[in-house]
A and B are shown apart, each in its own frame.
Chain A
Amino acid sequence: MLADVKFDQFLDAKGMSCPLPILKTKKTVETMARDQVLKVETTDPGSKNDMASWAKRTGNEIMKVEEASGTFTFYIKKTS
């Protein structure tokens, strides 16, 4: 089994609907330094695609996505 990705910040966006997980992610990433990693947890099934689109457009990197019992976990490296 792969070791957990190390992260610098954690954002709990569980229970939030579109567009809040994206808005909170953006807000958090803005406070971080380049190359730091943000771990985000969501329960919005739409967030899986949304997060990918957001990362593509803002030039940030999704290092890893996990999906377990209705919770999505994203590891996002700030590369913007």
Chain B
Amino acid sequence: MANKKMTIIASKGSLDMAYPPLILATTAAAMDVDVTIFFTFYGLEIIKKGNADSLKVSPLGNPAMPMPVPIPTLVSTLPGMEVMATAMMKSMFNKHGVASIQTLLDMAKESGVKLIACQMTMDVMGYKQSDIIEGVEFAGAAAWLDAASDAGINLFI
């Protein structure tokens, strides 16, 4: 029986939003699903060389983010708040035995998840192919549509 297929468009580059595509991709691969992730716009940050563990999260514009003490929105604009929020979230993840983004990315590659970088957004943002980690293919919308047409699960994250 042919494996099931899944595609994910990863369009966000913050620490919190890098997790869902990689968690689902690695788990799907472990469940014998063929996975393609198409990285576009800010999602490219996840696959820039040396960047996977440097992604950040901001409390600004995110009223749902749990903070040790309630913080007024205006305070969230102060320098250092993003660094603090990022450090806090990383320590929460670490405490609960959650893999880092780099670890999940490595596991995705190892388990044969196909990684595609959107060439158009790379050009727009001024990224070179050499800025992207090894093992990534470069393509556009048609490549994703080709994979998605045969897949039972297609997610935009």
Chain A contact residues, CB within 8 Å of chain B: 15-20, 22-23, 25-27, 44, 53-54, 57-58
Contact = CB atoms under 8 A, between A and B. Distances in A.
A26 B23 contact: no
A contact patch SS: helix
Interface of B: 23, 26-27, 30-32, 96-99, 107, 111
Given A18-B23, A19-B23, A26 B30 contact: yes
A58 B1 CA distance: 12
Contact of A23 (B26, B96, B97, B98): B26
Contact of B107 (A16, A23, A53, A57): A23
A44 B31 CA distance: 18
B97 A58 contact: no
A20 B31 contact: no
Given A20-B97, A58-B30, 8 more contacts: A17-B96, A17-B97, A18-B23, A22-B27, A23-B107, A23-B111, A44-B97, A53-B31
A19 B30 CA distance: 10
Contacts of B107: 23
For the complex of A and B, list the 10 residue pairs with the smallest distance between their C-beta atoms, beginning with the closest: A26-B30, A19-B27, A57-B31, A16-B97, A17-B98, A17-B97, A15-B97, A17-B96, A19-B23, A23-B30
A66 to B, nearest CB: 21
Nearest to B33: A57
Nearest to B96: A17
A58 B30 CA distance: 8
